[in-house]
Amino acid sequence: MEKKGELLAGFPAERPPTDTLKRMVTEVQESWERLATWFETHAPHVRARLAEPATDADLRAVEQAHGVALPADLAQSWQCFNGVLDGRGDTASIYPGGCYPASTHGAIKNLASSARTIALASGQDPNEDQILADVANDLAGETTEDVWAHPPSWIVISEDPDRLFIDCRRGPRQGCVMKMFHEGGQLGPLWPSIAAMLAETAEILESIDVAARPSIVTYSGGQWHIPTSWWQPST
């Protein structure tokens, strides 16, 4: 069971050096290749939902909107597949926990929605601006129950009511994967990086007994309910 504010183990004492970052970028590319191969083999209709790679302009737009540099592994992830194509149902919920990958456009759209929420809250309570400023000045990986919106240094990577995001605030856990709840509060860090999240995703899927068509698998954050549509392709 996930608990708000819970910190999972396995995080480095400081941000990785350059050679490690390069290795993380390579690992992202390899993980997406493994994922694409697995879906092509076992659920090609899901593979067909992976969007085309992001362009350099797409990545620059995210950086400009958020006012932060993209972590190298996040940029590489979007350069492999820029989210998933639109469609009904839960077929494309391919991130652990049943989350939909967000595109670069989706990240910007989520930030714009957050900005509107902040503007509305600030008009009702002047303290909201200070609360958000305090959150923005916290170290990466810190959580609070007081925030209903998010600062620009949180880059959303899933399109869900409870969204995964990359925490780009300063500190040794910069670039970690967190989750924000639509009713307020956050969970995490869940993974030290999107590279680690994608690697675990590939490992989990490759370990599935496809013939058994499981409805639930376990990952480091709890249980992942596998969509039945994965095993029932459209004709």
Each residue's pLDDT, cut to its tens digit, for the chain (235 residues) gives 333 333 333 444 445 667 877 899 999 999 999 999 999 999 999 999 999 999 999 999 999 999 999 999 999 999 999 999 875 567 889 999 999 999 999 999 999 887 776 666 555 566 666 767 777 788 999 988 766 668 899 999 998 888 999 999 999 999 999 999 888 788 989 999 999 999 999 999 999 999 999 999 999 999 999 999 999 865 4
Residue in 4, 26, 2 with CA at minimum distance from that of residue 143: 4
Q: Amino acid identity of 144?
A: T
- Contact between residue 95 and residue 164 where contact means Cβ atoms under 8 Å apart: yes
What is the rounded distance in angstroms from the CA atom of residue 178 to the CA atom of residue 154? 9
Structural domain of 68: 18-230
Asked if residue 174 belongs to a domain, the reply is: yes
**pTM for the model:** 0.86
Asked if residue 64 belongs to a domain, the reply is: yes
Asked if residue 195 belongs to a domain, the reply is: yes
Asked if residue 218 belongs to a domain, the reply is: yes
Asked if residue 156 belongs to a domain, the reply is: yes
Asked if residue 80 belongs to a domain, the reply is: yes
Number of domains in the chain: 1
What is the rounded distance in angstroms from the CA atom of residue 176 to the CA atom of residue 187? 11
> CA–CA distance from 40 to each of 43, 174, 188, 215 (Å)?
6, 33, 31, 19
Asked if residue 10 belongs to a domain, the reply is: no
Residue 75, beta-bridge partner list: none
Asked if residue 172 belongs to a domain, the reply is: yes
What is the rounded distance in angstroms from the CA atom of residue 53 to the CA atom of residue 76? 9
Which CATH number belongs to the domain containing residue 112 in this structure?
Answer: 3.40.1580.10
Alpha helices in the chain (DSSP H): 18-42, 44-47, 56-66, 72-80, 104-124, 127-137, 194-207
